[in-house]
Structure 1
Amino acid sequence: ELGTGGDPKIRGEEAEAAARILGVSLRLNLGLPDGGLIYGAGGRGAGGEQKRRIVEVIRRLRPRVVLVPWHTDRHPDHTAAHHLLNEAIFAAALEKYEAPGEPHRVERVLYYFINDAAEPSFLVDVSSTWEKKRESLLAHRSQFDLAASGVETPLNKPWGLLYKVEARDRYFGSLAGVAFAEGFVARQPLLLPGVL
């Protein structure tokens, strides 16, 4: 655990609290190392093991849609997670990829923004649930509360991540005529039943 605020136990408790706030029915932690995500290893070494663990979860849960962090972000783990997840999503569908479970092809991959943003493919109105989103982010006190962490970071400054997330969601909302919206980038084109 390389994070400035908190430790693995505290961060785990905060993540569980945030999940309860959001009503998440299943939250998994694969125990991948903070600051140690590896991708592009071609199935060898630690990177191959990380990918195999993700493939195993994809094959077990068999999701139709997977949300993946956007490819640019100030945090190297978020960028690495983007690439590692894309590799695992591809490998999960391969008959000859050695991991537990039957191969599974994810129907849709959507990219979401953490620290950065880009032109979204579509927006989702989150006006009615935005306060719950804020509350869930604030549950991560060791990261977002200066008093809790004791050290100023880009996350806990008055104009830190929470400020940026709210500003981004307000901006995306303004584009759609609502108070708050989240933007997503679709890896594949979206097929709509019609234009109306």
Structure 2
Amino acid sequence: MSKMLKRGWELTYVYVTDGRHGSDAVPPKELVKIRRAEARKERTMLGIQDSIELGVEDGSAGGLRGPELKALKQRVASIIAGTKADLIVVPSRSDMHPDHRATHDLVAETLKDMQLNPMLVKYFVWLFPDFYRKRPDVAGLVLMVGIDGEMTRKMAAIRLHRSQVGRGSFDAMARTLNAYLAYAFRAPATIGARYVEIIGLDEAEHNAREAQALLTALEPC
């Protein structure tokens, strides 16, 4: 995101769930307010101007059916149409968090209903606890993106989410994972990076202009 902003991309954050069940100590309604304030601080720091909250109850995205799911898809379709999105960034279908997987499927199904095929940029957050049970995902192109120049901002952004970092050392986890991925895929030798993100691009072949602009923004990759 930071690299894209530097290249002049206009980004809109869409928050699907409200985070209310992310603490054993803070009441759900209070936690929603805390998470909203933390997200606002992150957007301010990164320079994100536009954001939308869908307000789905934390942990329930994958269980929506019938009229509730239809209404949510209509809201997502309205956002896609309203922003005229060139690309959409979504969690991988293989992510181990159920809300993240549900978000992927929500976007994919909505695009199918709309008969649109913008480029999807897929990322993962949770590899654990049981990567043996991962659901399959597809991407036409897998990229290793060097983020050495972005690590300071990334760590600062993560630490703004104090209600989450306080429960677990997510900043240290992210730094360690980005370093592990870099050395696992020989990034220091191939692209001169000590920290990397791994992302998947789908429908890049149908969006050549957007794909090339993204590759330019994400260098080295």
Match in the other structure for 2:89: 67
Cα distance in 1 for partners of 2:63, 2:204 equals 26
Which residues in structure 2 correspond to 1:141-180 (within 5 Å)? 141-146=162-167, 156=168, 158=169, 161-174=170-183, 175=187, 176-180=191-195
Match in the other structure for 2:17: none
Q: 1:51 aligns with which of 60, 70, 73?
A: 73
Alignment partner of 2:33: what SS?
A: helix
TM-score normalised by the chain length of structure 1: 0.75
Q: 1:126 aligns with which of 135, 147, 153?
A: 147
Alignment partner of 1:30: what SS?
A: strand
Is the contact between residue 123 and residue 183 of structure 1 (CA under 8 Å) also seen in structure 2? Answer: yes
Alignment partner of 2:193: what SS?
A: coil
Instruction: Compute the displacement of 1:72 (Å).
Output: 2.3
Instruction: Compute the displacement of 1:39 (Å).
Output: 7.0
Unmatched runs of 5 consecutive residues or more in structure 2: 1-19, 132-136, 213-221
Instruction: Compute the displacement of 1:12 (Å).
Output: 0.1
Instruction: Compute the displacement of 1:70 (Å).
Output: 0.9
1:67 maps to amino acid: V
Q: 1:137 aligns with which of 158, 180, 191?
A: 158
Cα distance in 1 for partners of 2:120, 2:94 equals 16
- Cα RMSD of the aligned pairs, angstroms, is 2.6
Is the contact between residue 39 and residue 83 of structure 1 (CA under 8 Å) also seen in structure 2? Answer: no
Is the contact between residue 173 and residue 179 of structure 1 (CA under 8 Å) also seen in structure 2? Answer: yes
Instruction: Compute the displacement of 1:169 (Å).
Output: 1.4
Match in the other structure for 1:153: none
Which residues in structure 2 correspond to 1:1-196 (within 5 Å)? 1-4=20-23, 6=26, 7-38=31-62, 41=65, 44-91=66-113, 93-94=114-115, 105-116=116-127, 121-146=142-167, 156=168, 158=169, 161-174=170-183, 175=187, 176-188=191-203
Deviations 1:41-72 (A, max 9, x none): 4xx32111111111110010011110110112
Instruction: Compute the displacement of 1:106 (Å).
Output: 4.4
Alignment partner of 1:124: what SS?
A: strand
Unmatched runs of 5 consecutive residues or more in structure 1: 95-104, 147-155
CA 1:107–1:39: 2 relative to 1, 3 Å:
farther
Instruction: Compute the displacement of 1:162 (Å).
Output: 2.8
Is the contact between residue 148 and residue 196 of structure 2 (CA under 8 Å) also seen in structure 1? Answer: yes
More helix by share: 2
TM-score normalised by the chain length of structure 2: 0.67
2:61 maps to amino acid: L
Cα distance in 2 for partners of 1:115, 1:166 equals 14
Aligned length: 168
Identical-residue share of aligned pairs (%): 22
Deviations 1:91-148 (A, max 9, x none): 2x34xxxxxxxxxx342111101112999801222211111111111111011114xx
